[in-house]
Structure 1
Amino acid sequence: LRVQSHEFKNTLHAVAGMIQMERYDDALDCIMQVSESRDKLINFASSRIRVVPLAALLISKAGAAREQGVDFCIAPDSRLDEVPGCIDVHDVVTAVGNLLDNAMEAAASDAGSGAGRRRVYVALRQAEDGTRIEVANTGPAIPDDVAQRMWVHGFTTKPDGHGIGLALVKDRVEAAGGRIWYERETGSETGSPVEGLTVFCILFPKEDGYGRTARAQSLVGRG
């Protein structure tokens, strides 16, 4: 809500300035453009992502990305009707939300990319092996020394030492029976034509007949 309020105020200020300049057609175009863009995103997210907390998260993060000058792209073939019943959807939202925050920060800080080249991509798909989620961003690759330590508890690259950290994101994913990994790709299944993407992938396996994921089933089998 804070991001959307700030974005709305910026739009109002721009429209007010155009009216004062007697650029009425430009003011109307600005209003229509913002309205159409927002409606398109909301309609797409609500129709293709039926998990309401995740759809709401994507809409919110799209606004935050615009604030940072980052293009927010949802793969056009994204579709997610549900998550396995034994998974806490709030764990999924927490994990994806933090991956998106990291991706937006990395893309926004990429001084080597001009406007329109700072991008974040997200894809959510129901595949044969389960629910797959990808979050990708343009920008420099994660340094090797960071990649080796980024899953360790307490590790962060934030100057103030704050931040959720990928270790806790990994904990949330694994608590939900899934797994998470990192890739550096030239091109991606997220639908991006841009080379050199940092990609984080999450897989939540399908449930068995008893409403358990494959990981939960293996734990039950140990008993």
Structure 2
Amino acid sequence: MSKLFKLKRPGLFGQMVLLVLTVLILCILLIIISFSSIIDQMIERTTGQQALTVAELVAENNSIIDAFDAEHPAQLIQPIAEKLRERTGADYIVIANEDGIRYSHPYPDQIGKETETSNKAPLSGDSVIFIGNGVLGEAVKAKTPIYDEAGTIIGVSSVGFLTNEVESRIFVYQLRVAAFGGLALLIGIPGAFYIARRVKRLIFNLEPEEISHAFSEKQAILESIGDATLAISPAFQILSANKKARDILGEHAEGTLTEPHLKALIRTALQNPNRLIQEQSLICNSIYIVDISPILAEETAISGIVLTIRPFSEVEDLANELIEIRQHANHIRAQTHEYLNKLNTLNGLLLLGRYEEAKAFMKMEVQELQQTVTFLMSTIKDPLIVAVLLGKVNRAKEMKVSITFDENSQWLDFPDTIQSEHVVTVIGNLIDNALEASSEWKGKNAAVHLSFTDYGDELVMDIEDNGKGMTSEEEAYFFTEGATTKNHPQHGLGLTIMQHALSQLGGEWYRTNRLEGTCMTIAIPKNNPEHTTAEERENHD
């Protein structure tokens, strides 16, 4: 039964009208109360000042002063005081001597009696204003001393205005203020309805629950899209971004877009509003296909940009695995080619009956490989870095390039917070470039020398080659995205990827020209505050 009579909650329109009316009524009430209080104080202050002025005029009346010396002062003072009372509008004027005995009063029977309020202040020479009760009731009173010609206080002049008269005047002013408040309320009621109706039209007459539901649906649809999707304003403010976009861009997807490659593509789109753009771009160390579609507010005005970002091979994880598999395949191919040559050599020695030389050849090969593996395992803590260096050793043998290591090198103080995947990307690209540079310039005499140390606060590695070297202009060219000397679509991103990976590690690189070739130095801080451990990265993922 109680459910039948349960009040229905008002909609957004009703809530807004009630809110505006409540605020309006409260403001009007506060204004009326404040104005009434101010008027009350002003009238009381003005009435008190008026009473004091009349009292001072009475005290300075020569006829009243002279009457104090008469045999019967009251007979002379009473008529004068009553005339002054009628002329000034005061409710009473009382003249009393030093002992407080009245010489005048609106009620004649009170003449000759002592005043009910204290005359201490006026008899001391001070004038006072106060509210007090008397014979006629509560009144705003003023008392002042009466002086004779010699300057001696001979009596007291007391003037009063009854508070009921003051209150009636205050009430009249309060009614006027209330009338203005009522007028404001009459104007405010239709105004409240107009504002509420306008807001409802702007939000398509939807209730808050409906707006919330529609927003949740839109957000769910956006988040369910497999590709990264962003909406960007012409001022590069990010209007919306789904989870995939936030995962790819990271801090670049907060507030204002800061990713430089995407900003360059957006500028191109803003300059060509009628063109749909699809570009391959390097974003945060990975290659993506970026589709850009402008949002046209008018025929030529762009109000925003929609970006769809897809991994270069459609699935980013698959692309990374494919790269790793390709690297392993290259390493295996290099090893296979190298061992095939050695097996042919060994087979030839056996066919010729050179058994001792065959044994010596096998021993030398085993010792050489074992020494390299033992050296790297004993000087480098991270097995992933050991694996990539062994792969580069095999690639160097295939390219007929001599690769050597400084015997005093070590990377044993390798913090777990450093992401070895980024380190592999950096040193792998630099060693490949060194092998190719020395091979092209020196041929069979090509050589690459590696040295690395963990002394101090940084991990440092020097990669030296005896290639042609590099000028400052060539360095500026080769370290820009897409720059290459090879005619192949997959080339030209290695050094750019290396730079991005190194920046993720918080490291730096330096180039030093040698008499023959170039020395590339990388320095990676051990205690970069942005580093996280492998366990933290797994938990974050």
Among 496, 499, 505, the residue aligned to 1:176: 505
Cα distance in 2 between the residues matched to 1:28 and 1:109? 35
- The structure 1 residue matched to 2:469, chosen from 133, 141, 146, is 141
Judge which range, 12-21 or 139-148, deviates more: 139-148
Q: 1:207 aligns with which of 513, 516, 527?
A: 527
CA contact (8 A) 1:178 1:205 kept: yes
Q: What is the CA–CA distance in structure 2 between the aligned matches of 1:161 and 1:16, rounded to whole Å?
A: 41
State the partner residue of 2:446: 118
CA distance in 1, matches of 2:401, 2:513: 20
Number of aligned pairs?
199
Tell me if structure 2 keeps the 8 A contact 1:51–1:82.
no
**1:98-128 superposed Cα distances (whole Å, 9 cap, x missing partner):** 11111111111124x6x4x311111121132
Choose from 165, 173, 186 the match for 2:494.
Answer: 165
Paired residue secondary structure (2:523) = strand
Q: Secondary structure at the match of 2:441?
A: coil
In structure 2, distance between residues paired with 1:162 and 1:181: 25
- Other structure's SS at 1:110 match: helix
Q: In structure 1, how many angstroms separate the alpha carbons of the residues matched to 2:488 and 2:393?
A: 26
Q: Which runs of 4+ in 1 moved over 2 A?
A: 82-87, 159-165
Point out the structure with the larger helix share. 2
Task: Check whether the contact 2:457–2:527 (CA below 8 A) recurs between aligned residues.
Answer: no
Q: Which amino acid aligns with 1:126?
A: D
- Structure 1 partner of 2:437: 106
How far has the Cα of 1:181 moved from its partner?
2.2
Aligned with 2:483: secondary structure?
coil
1:192 alignment counterpart: none
Question: Which of 126, 129, 132 is residue 460 of structure 2 equivalent to?
Answer: 132
Q: How far did residue 161 of structure 1 move?
A: 4.7
Please give the TM-score of this superposition, normalised by the length of structure 1.
Answer: 0.82
1:34-53 equivalence runs, <5 A: 34-53=365-384
CA distance in 2, matches of 1:110, 1:153: 24
Contact 1:156 1:162 in 2 (8 A): no
1:197 to 517, 522, 527: 517
Quick one: distance in 2 between partners of 1:108 and 1:40?
24
C-alpha separation in 2, matches of 1:196 and 1:128: 29
Separation in 1 of the partners of 2:413 and 2:338? Answer: 31
Letter in 2 for 1:70: V
Contact 2:396–2:402 (CA<8 Å) still a contact in 1? yes
Task: Kindly state the Cα deviation for residue 155 of structure 1 after the two structures are TM-superposed.
Answer: 1.1
The one of the two structures with greater contact order (alpha-carbon pairs below 8 A, sep at least 6) is 1
**Among residues 398, 407, 410, which one is paired with 1:79 in the alignment?**
410
Relative to structure 2, which stretch is displaced further, 160-169 or 72-81?
160-169
Unmatched runs of 5 consecutive residues or more in structure 1: 186-194, 214-223
Whole-Å separation in 2 of the counterparts to 1:138 and 1:119:
6
Q: Where does residue 419 of structure 2 map in the other structure?
A: 88
* TM-score, with length taken from structure 2: 0.35
CA RMSD of superposed structures (Å): 1.8
Larger C-alpha radius of gyration, 1 or 2?
2
C-alpha distance in structure 1 between counterparts of 2:419 and 2:479, whole Å: 22
Shift in Å, 1:76: 1.0
Give the whole-Å Cα distance in 2 for the aligned partners of 1:161 and 1:183. 29
What SS class does the counterpart of residue 353 from structure 2 fall into?
coil
Q: What SS is found at the alignment partner of 2:378?
A: helix
For residues 80-106 of structure 1, give each alpha carbon's deviation from its aligned partner in whole angstroms, at most 9, with x where no partner exists.
014343331111001101111111111
User: 1:12, 1:206 → 2: CA distance?
Assistant: 44
2-structure distance, mates of 1:151, 1:25: 52
Tell me whether 85-94 or 141-150 shows the greater mean CA deviation.
141-150
Q: Distance in 1 between matches of 2:367 and 2:468?
A: 33
2:395 aligned with 1:60: no
Q: Deviations over 1:145-174 (max 9, x none)?
A: 321212111111223353343121111111
Structure 1 contact 155–165 (Cα < 8 Å) conserved: no
Structure 2 residue matching 1:202: 3-state secondary structure: strand
- Provide the rounded CA distance (Å) in 1 between the counterparts of 2:510 and 2:483: 17
User: Separation in 2 of the partners of 1:203 and 1:96?
Assistant: 11
How much has 1:6 moved relative to structure 2?
2.1
Counterpart contact for 2:438–2:517, Cα < 8 Å = no
Q: Shift in Å at residue 56 of structure 1? A: 1.4
C-alpha displacement of 1:144: 4.1
Q: Which amino acid aligns with 2:384?
A: P
Q: Distance in 2 between matches of 1:200 and 1:40?
A: 25
